[in-house]
Amino acid sequence: MESPVSPKSPQTSETVPATASGTAPDAAPPCCPSRRTALAAAGAVGAVFVTGCSGDGGSGDGDSGALLARTSEIPVGGGKIIKDRKIVVTQPVAGDFKAFSAICTHQGCTVNRIANGLIECPCHGSRFRITDGVVTAGPAPRPLPAEAIKVSGGNIVRA
Ligand code: FES
């Protein structure tokens, strides 16, 4: 006699992307509790909440005109991470400035390094091009969203 099959699998419906090392990325990014931690906390108090760490990037905080950096601070072929505004400003070629969200599209960590033409995320190794924010490595599913900037008189400001 066959035993009934439970409609619920012992595994959760949570999708956990594999990492290059083969370990589950359960470690929470610095800005957010892990999903499991958040769900456990919600269950403990009988409430459901959303952490606000969507991992979608984009600061969009409406600070048009805010000074981000001086053009002289942005190396050609590199960039600068403005952590307090969660923006990366790059200069792929002389005089051509770009800006992207500094929030990784994987699990919401803030990128922390720019080297060899790439913006790097410390959490799971994603890499993004300084030219267009496109993913070149790692688990990040989408490019870093572009941020609107203006360059005026040696200042780079939010558009
Ligand atoms: Fe996972 Fe950036 S948060 S690679």
59 touches 101 (CB < 8 A): yes
Tally of CB atoms within 10 A around 136: 13
Give residue 126 CA to ligand 1 midpoint distance, Å.
6
Whose CA is closest to 134, among 92, 83, 96? 92
Q: Which of 23, 35, 109, when mutated, tests ligand 1's pocket best, judged by the most ligand atoms within 8 Å of its CB?
A: 109
> In a structure prediction context, what are the per-residue pLDDT tens digits for the chain, which is 159 residues long?
444 444 343 333 333 333 334 333 444 444 444 444 333 333 333 333 333 333 344 445 568 899 999 999 999 999 999 999 999 999 999 999 999 999 999 999 999 999 999 999 999 999 999 999 999 999 999 999 999 999 999 999 999
Q: Which atom of ligand 1 is nearest to the CA of 55?
A: 3
Structure tokens at 106: 């994987």
Helix H or strand E encompassing 70: strand 67-70
Enter the CATH code of domain 67-158: 2.102.10.10
DSSP state of 44: H
Q: Locate CATH 2.102.10.10 in the chain.
A: 67-158
Which atom of ligand 1 is least distant from the CA of 104? 2
